[in-house]
Structure 1
Amino acid sequence: MTAVFVAVALSLVSAVAYAAAAVAQERLAARSSDSGVLRLLGAGAWWAAVGLNASAALLHVVALKYGSLTVVQPLGALTLVAAVPMGARVAGRKVSTTEWRGTALTLAGLAALLVAASGSAPEQVLSLTEALAVAGTTAALIGMLARPGARPGLRHATASGFASGVASALTQTVTVAATDRSGPALSLRVVLVAVLVAAFAAGGLLLSQMAYKGGLGAPLAVLTLSNPTAASVIGLTMLGQGLRGGAAGVLLALAGAALASWGVVLLTRPTPAPAPIEEEHPVAAVLALKPETATQEPVLVPRPTSDPGHLTPL
């Protein structure tokens, strides 16, 4: 169980770093409608987000060494939980009641998933053939989702989630295989799969930046749900990372997934902006403050003329 605790702790810190990176990326996307690669490379905010993502990814890699995909990946939903108060603070508003409710449901669902999915450190990894098959299938799905069409933000977020989830599954293969003392640390499988990890990680980062053009909430929610879905499918079907407790464990995991999903949906609901203050016309404001000026008799003052008795209105 110690390995599971280490994996959970690392995943928590990783989620906070990912949340900070997501908020930074959304702010960058909001400031500029042009998020081309060359423009991003010249933005300091972009490199700050890259640094946060890299730190979070490093913690995530270490977590995958101690915990299975079915444990570590669902904890990615904590990214959205952390991003909500961060985004609210940056926007200068308070966290709404709906957002707090969504946070509570997400945490409850994740707790149920952890109970059902907690297990020993991973031992089984993808073979080179399986890794290439997973990479090819995922690349095809990303190509379909990234095509021009309706709802580009949500499609890019889905593609980013798939890319990140598959990158995590491949990362676990690299980590376990490289630290396995029964073979060479830099085998052909480790090197090739590491290249695939880098490609999917970079692609997921760029896709998420494109997704945040439409805001933070909905794209981040879709990314948060699609990421563990892709990784869990690989873990359950190809790596033998099952659930504890038999049928009861499956039901508990499904209930936890439903709660976490509903919490994520609540967290993405738009927060009503405060009603704008109607500005009064400057002339009306002056009249409202000094109504007597509208009917005030003109003040007669002497005008310097040759006729000292002549008066003129002011």
Structure 2
Amino acid sequence: MNDTALAVGLCLGSAVAYAAAAVAQERLARAGRAHSARTLMGAGAWWWSAGLNAAAALLHAAALRYGPLTLVQPLGALTLVAAVPMGARRSGRRVARTEWRGTLATVAGLGLLLLPASGPAPDDTLTLAEALGVSGATIAVILALTAVREPGSGLRHATASGLASAVASALTQTVAVAGGRGGSLFSVRVVSVALLVVVFAVGGMLLSQRAYRGGGLGAPLAVVNLANPLAAAAIGAFLLGERLQGGAAGLLLAAAGAAAATRGVILLTRLPAPPRPERMSPRTPATV
């Protein structure tokens, strides 16, 4: 099995785990148990989703060891494919036609972005200075996106979550590749970057939890899956030397993909938010 095929297989497993976690998080948010960190910590459903996110993150980290950032990140759109029917089934309803159209448009668009992004296994990684610079800039953008709390802010939190996840992935790739070359796992650079991974991974999860409040599952998850690969592609292009393949044709495919994915997100944002389920007990586990 070549590196690209292995990376894709690991991404598939990661996407299913992330989808199950997203469904659990969205249900927890609609049940009214996402108002504070203390409340979340007392909910068995939150720990269930945290465990799923951790498993997905490990698979994702392994994928980043074998595939470039611009290949691995767009495959995260498969999370949306799995999560929409999972969420509908969990709510005891059928997937609406608009949900399917929005989901398929988003995934098809990200697939077009994926085609010119396929490349060799990653070689370059972020230096400590680059990692700190990217982290600082991303934190500033996230604070700007989440500074104003008002109705309809869920998609801004979803965008912030996608940015946090993209940076976490870029930093994870640095740890995985640098540590896998025979370098020390306990060097200042690797340890510092690993700590930043934890900050952005946990932050991305909490931001997505906030995004699901009142916004349903499809639209926030679509925005996360759109912001994530676009931000990762920017990091890969400007700092890691990753380039789109195919020249002008590759750029046209990427542009078409971005347009289709944006159309899919718009369709998903037009869906009404699902009704709130009955309030769950703090010890009630989520079932998916």
Q: Describe the shift of the 1:34–1:22 C-alpha distance in structure 2 as closer, same or farther (beyond 3 A).
A: closer
For residues 43-96 of structure 1, give each alpha carbon's deviation from its aligned partner in whole angstroms, at most 9, with x where no partner exists.
100000001101111110001111111111111122112111011111211122
Q: Distance in 2 between matches of 1:237 and 1:96?
A: 40
Q: What is residue 198 of structure 1 aligned with on the other side?
A: 198
Q: What is residue 4 of structure 1 aligned with on the other side?
A: 4
| Contact 1:11/1:63 (8 A) holds in 2 | yes
Q: Distance in 2 between matches of 1:272 and 1:228?
A: 25
For residues 279-302 of structure 1, give each alpha carbon's deviation from its aligned partner in whole angstroms, at most 9, with x where no partner exists.
xxxxxxxxxxxxxxxxxxxxxxxx
Q: Distance in 2 between matches of 1:157 and 1:110?
A: 17
Q: Describe the shift of the 1:34–1:61 C-alpha distance in structure 2 as closer, same or farther (beyond 3 A).
A: closer
One-letter amino acid matched to 1:5: A
Q: State the TM-score, normalized to the length of structure 1.
A: 0.81
- Shift of residue 26, structure 1, vs aligned partner: 0.8
| Contact 1:11/1:59 (8 A) holds in 2 | yes
| Contact 1:96/1:271 (8 A) holds in 2 | no
Q: Distance in 1 between matches of 2:63 and 2:272?
A: 34
One-letter amino acid matched to 2:181: D
One-letter amino acid matched to 1:221: A
Q: Describe the shift of the 1:104–1:153 C-alpha distance in structure 2 as closer, same or farther (beyond 3 A).
A: closer
- Shift of residue 272, structure 1, vs aligned partner: 9.6
Instruction: Name the SS for the 2:213 alignment partner.
Output: helix
| Contact 1:6/1:63 (8 A) holds in 2 | yes
Structure 1 stretch displaced more, 94-103 or 239-248: 94-103
Q: What is residue 98 of structure 2 aligned with on the other side?
A: 98
| Contact 2:74/2:111 (8 A) holds in 1 | no
Q: Distance in 2 between matches of 1:267 and 1:15?
A: 19
Where does 1:1-314 land on structure 2 (aligned, <5 Å)? Answer: 2-32=2-32, 34-150=34-150, 151-181=152-182, 183-214=183-214, 215-270=216-271
| Contact 2:161/2:224 (8 A) holds in 1 | yes
Q: Distance in 2 between matches of 1:166 and 1:31?
A: 30
- Shift of residue 31, structure 1, vs aligned partner: 1.0
User: Which structure is larger by alpha-carbon Rg, 1 or 2?
Assistant: 1
| Contact 1:116/1:252 (8 A) holds in 2 | yes
| Contact 2:125/2:178 (8 A) holds in 1 | yes
For residues 229-276 of structure 1, give each alpha carbon's deviation from its aligned partner in whole angstroms, at most 9, with x where no partner exists.
211110011101101111111111222232233234334441698xxx
For residues 133-160 of structure 1, give each alpha carbon's deviation from its aligned partner in whole angstroms, at most 9, with x where no partner exists.
0011111111122213333312221111
- Which ranges in structure 2 are unaligned for 5 or more consecutive residues? 275-288
Equivalences, count: 273
Instruction: Name the SS for the 1:94 alignment partner.
Output: coil
Q: State the TM-score, normalized to the length of structure 2.
A: 0.88
- Shift of residue 40, structure 1, vs aligned partner: 0.8
One-letter amino acid matched to 2:196: L
Q: Distance in 2 between matches of 1:235 and 1:78?
A: 21
Q: Describe the shift of the 1:227–1:218 C-alpha distance in structure 2 as closer, same or farther (beyond 3 A).
A: same
Q: Distance in 2 between matches of 1:272 and 1:41?
A: 25
Q: Describe the shift of the 1:31–1:104 C-alpha distance in structure 2 as closer, same or farther (beyond 3 A).
A: closer
One-letter amino acid matched to 1:241: E
Cα RMSD for the two superposed structures: 2.0
- Shift of residue 99, structure 1, vs aligned partner: 2.7
| Contact 2:226/2:261 (8 A) holds in 1 | no
| Contact 1:102/1:263 (8 A) holds in 2 | yes
| Contact 2:158/2:208 (8 A) holds in 1 | yes
One-letter amino acid matched to 1:187: S
| Contact 1:135/1:166 (8 A) holds in 2 | yes
| Contact 1:221/1:268 (8 A) holds in 2 | no
